[in-house]
Amino acid sequence: MEEMTDTMWLQNQNETLATPTQIWKQINYDQFKEQLEKMSMDMVEKQKESKATRKRLTETTKEFKHSSSEEKAKNLNTLLKSYQSEIDRLTTRAAFAESCFFQVYQKLYATTDPCVFIAELEDWKWKYQQVLEEKKQMQQELDQFHLETADVQRQDATVRELLKQLKQKEEDTERKLAEKSKQLEAEWTETLKNTKAHQENQQSIWTHEIEQYKEKLANLQTAYESVQNRLFQTSHQLEELRGVKNTEHQILLQELEQSREENRDLNRKISELLHSKSSNVLSSEASESKDFYANLAWKDGKIKQLEKQLDALKSQMEEYQISYRQELEDKQQVITKQEMQIKQLERRLEAAPNLDEVQRLRKQITNLQALQFDHVEQLQEEASGKEPTDLETLLMEKNRSLEDQLSKWRVTVQNIEKESMQYQQQALSLEEALSDQKEVNRKLEQALNEALKVRNPLGVSVSLENSSNASKPRIPEEQGILDIVCQQRDRYKHKMLEYEDQVDKMRERISLLNATVETLRNESKRTSYQVVDSSVSDKRGTKMADKESLSLMLEQGNSNTLAWPETTSYAGASRRWLRQRRSFERQEF
């Protein structure tokens, strides 16, 4: 139905557009334009002729006016004729213009207003452009779809080819395994006679390597414990310094409260000064001004001492932070070296044979030795009742130490987060103190302005922003206390700026603490990974024990003929290790 309505609407639009096109075709715009050009040229020529005749008439009229009466009587008829001819020309010109106008009017009157149709054509043009754009987009989407389908078809073909290759490889591997099993059965009968001497040498070499590994692990354990002790010492020193700084901060806050109380006392005294107007009060003001000077000097000295103490504490903090960073860098380097050594040891352990392969070889050896020897059962009993080796104990201790380190790092992270919260609370308290101090200064400014308006007829006002730079008016000796209060106000202003600097520094310190928290979290992640790696290395230690049992069981043959598979079943161990690592990350973070 929608398509039918669209077609009907298009037909109506075509019918409406057909009428103006037919009309303009009948007009024949090119011929009409030529006619208009001819008419305009004729009108221009007639206009030029009329201008020339008018000039002649003006000249003749001027001559007629300047001539004598006899000449006027003679030339009057000629002048009238010239005027009559000019009037005839003008009438012909007007008639020609009217005829041209009527011709144009007759042709244009039959036409319709083309603006509506031009607007509709513009709309249609815009819609056509939109349709073209949509067509281009659809074409692009279609091309993309074709490309995707082609890629999918290619992928299907590649998948089929790969499946065929997999089947062929599986068949080849099965065939090769069967051939190798036959070859091994044939070779084991020949190699059991020559393995005993070489096995003794190999056993001595393995024992020597195991002793070296144990010594290296012991050295690494001692170095790790020393680094851990240093970390505990540094953390203890940090806690002591934090306690000292907290006490100093509390002392500074108490002094700030005392300064606020003194500021309030000064405000009260100023209010009393404003209310007092007698001469007795002025004499008492002079005595009180001396006391104010003394108090202000004492407070200035105290503030300078506090500033020196703060500078000393800041320098100590910077030195301690630098030393702490250097120690952390050194310890990180030591830890990286230890990790490299551990990775080398793990690579050497990975080069050893697999547990499944060892068990398979053990079964083959027992089956072959059952034909020649009678003491196979004794060897099996010794292999089954073997005690855990020293390597396993070392790995267990390492796992425990790494878990302890991880718990300690967590505790340090929690302590640092608590400290950052305390610093944030301190920053908020300092901001509140600043706001209170600003309100007190504003009240002081209002009181001073009122006092100056009362005592100064010019009404000089004082503000916090221009009190130090603006030109001060001349105040009589009675207003000495007001000068003191203005100076004190400026000092409070500087003190407020110092408090703002302290707040900014506290915020910077909080950001640094957040950065340290992130670094500690990253280090805790590393330790968690080391714990998982140590658990995997425990399993590898059991594999080494099985390897030693295999060395005891082998008695004859050449080790060069033993084709140990290097990368047969470590995929399962690596998968288990990845699963443990992911589960640990989900639980902890």
pLDDT digits (tens, 9 = 90+) for 452-466: 565 444 443 444 334
Distance CA 377, CA 366 (A): 9
Q: What are the tokens at 154?
A: 């290619």
Domain boundaries, the chain: 19-112, 216-276+300-352+361-466+473-555+571-588
Concatenate the DSSP letters of all residues of 285-299 into one string: HHHHHHHHHHHHHHH
Span of 342-346, 466-470, 538-542 with lowest mean pLDDT: 466-470
- Distances 341 to 100, 213, 220, 412 between C-alpha atoms, Å: 110, 11, 9, 27
SS (H, E, C) 523-579: HHHHHHHHHHHHHHHHHHHHHHHHHHHHHHHCCCCCHHHCCCCCCCCHHHHHHHHHH
For residue 374, which phi and psi values (nearest 5 degrees)?
Answer: -115, -10
- Distances 511 to 326, 430, 471, 518, 579 between C-alpha atoms, Å: 20, 17, 43, 11, 35
Mean of per-residue pLDDT scores for the chain: 68
Regarding predicted confidence, which is higher, 29 or 140?
140
Distance CA 108, CA 36 (A): 13
Distance CA 525, CA 346 (A): 20
Buried b (16+ CB within 10 A) or exposed e, 416-431: beebbeebeebbeebe
Query: Do residues 78 and 121 make contact, with C-beta atoms less than 8 angstroms apart?
Result: no
Q: Is the pLDDT score of 273 beyond 60?
A: yes
Q: Per-residue pLDDT tens for 135-158?
A: 888 888 888 888 888 887 887 788
Tell me, what's the pLDDT at 497? 75
Cα 38 to chain center, whole Å?
76
Tell me, what's the pLDDT at 243? 75
pLDDT band at 160 (very low <50, low <70, confident <90, very high): confident
pLDDT band at 555 (very low <50, low <70, confident <90, very high): very low
Q: Is the pLDDT score of 51 beyond 80?
A: yes
Q: What are the tokens at 476?
A: 């009589």
Tell me, what's the pLDDT at 511? 72
Q: Per-residue pLDDT tens for 319-340?
A: 777 777 777 777 778 777 777 8
Distance CA 211, CA 544 (A): 13
Q: Count how many residues are written for the chain.
A: 589
Give the SS3 label for residue 160.
Answer: helix
Tell me, what's the pLDDT at 466? 41
pLDDT band at 355 (very low <50, low <70, confident <90, very high): low
Listed residue (380, 499, 487) closest to 438, CA to CA: 499
For the packed helices 279-350 and 196-275, what is the interaxial angle rounded to 10 degrees? 170
Spatial neighbors of 479 by CB under 8 A, at least 6 apart, are: 451, 452, 455
Q: Per-residue pLDDT tens for 469-504?
A: 433 444 444 445 556 666 666 766 676 677 677 777
Tell me, what's the pLDDT at 48? 86
